[in-house]
Amino acid sequence: MTVQSETAVSAAAPSSRLPLFALATASFGIGTTEFVIMGLLPDVASDLGVTIPRAGLLITGYALSVTFGSPFLAIATARMDRRHALMLLMAVFILGNLLCAVSPNYALLMVARVVTALCHGAFFGLGAVVAAALVAPRKRAQAIAMMFAGLTLANVLGVPLGTALGGQFGWRNAFYAVALIGVVAALALQLWLPRTIPVPPMNLRREGGSLRSAQVILAMAISVAVSASMFSVFTYIAPILTTVTQVSARGVTVMLLLFGIGLTVGNVIGGRLADWRLMPSILGALAVLIPLLALFTVTSLSPMLTGVTLVLWGLVAFALVPPLQTRVVTEAAGAPNLASTLNQGAFNLGNAIGAWLGGVGLTLGLPYQMLPWMGSALALVALVLALISHRLALAGRVTMQPAL
């Protein structure tokens, strides 16, 4: 970026707040529909006559649709204006949630979840690139974090309120409410997104070439492992809280609220840390996450300690999201659209792997209390990958130095 263009972006920075708020509103709706089913998993399983592990596959199906479907949707909208592409993705989101609300059986609900998920990765991938383009380069991670703030607020407000709404009036009403959020988000995008966004349509040849970077691939692999670590446990958080911690249905809502508070704080911290020192932030967060999840096997026996653990877990886990997304956008700087979308697919592939591994463990007789050990082991895998990435980056800098 030239000095002149950087100055122009910096001057325009105050006007980026409303567009970023519109993106955050959309991510709030997307985050709510992704996560709310976890708090409603026992209700959905009971209503549709399936086991909880099988109901958990609704989360796996959603995640796999993001992983493998979103890139195709991103490619299908490659030649579209970026603003129009975002609006189209929100239309898919609204339609998918309405289908969830009216699905009469498990099979159709799975189809509806897959349709809803199609917009997820493409929206977050493109949205992250747009958010970064609206601000000065030194504030890119914070702009991405602001967009993802909607995702974290979904856990603070959307998921607890959706869980309470679904528990009181039926789980289908939670999806009607999310569809309404989607309508509000679409209106905000229509009103506040700039008519001209400084992000060109996707160049598929150049975008595909960016995926050959070892650092881009490693960043995505870390995203998979981090997400798998979280969802191997969080997918089954409602039965963990009711059977191990032994809290009431209202207590589950409170615990989810505490977790969401941790996510929100972690997202803000992660954005600032990423703009300060990117890889050290990732390594430090992972080093804290591993023992924290291991301790959850003990703290889950106490409601008070569980609440504290959930706040800290949410904080550390989401302190990783802006740095990982920023790393992909940075490493694929010449062609970030597809790489950014694929990294969202990587997060959701991790969701699917984590939910599946947790379900396999439960089916084989693993107690709910022991699931955090699985999350801790997966976080260790992420740390190893991050160390490899960091070492390669340091080695690359050394080889670029002129010989003495």
Distance CA 404, CA 59 (A): 56
Domains of the chain, with CATH numbers? 16-392 (1.20.1250.20)
Radius of gyration of the chain (CA): 20
- Cα dihedral 39→365→375→30 (10° resolution): -30
Contacts of 233 (CB under 8 A, 6+ apart): 240, 293, 296, 354, 358, 371, 372, 374, 375
- Reading the chain (404 residues) residue by residue, the pLDDT tens digits are 333 333 333 333 446 788 999 999 999 999 899 878 877 888 899 899 888 888 888 887 887 888 888 788 878 877 788 888 899 999 999 999 999 999 999 999 999 999 898 888 788 888 888 888 888 777 777 888 888 788 778 877 887 788 888 888 889 999 999 999 999 999 999 998 888 776 666 666 666 666 677 888 888 899 999 999 998 998 888 889 999 999 987 888 889 888 888 988 998 888 888 777 888 889 999 999 999 999 999 999 999 999 999 999 999 998 998 888 888 777 776 666 677 778 877 887 888 889 889 989 998 989 999 999 999 999 999 999 999 988 887 876 554 444 43
What tokens does 192 get? 């506040």
Answer yes or no: are the C-beta atoms of 391 and 245 closer than 8 Å: no
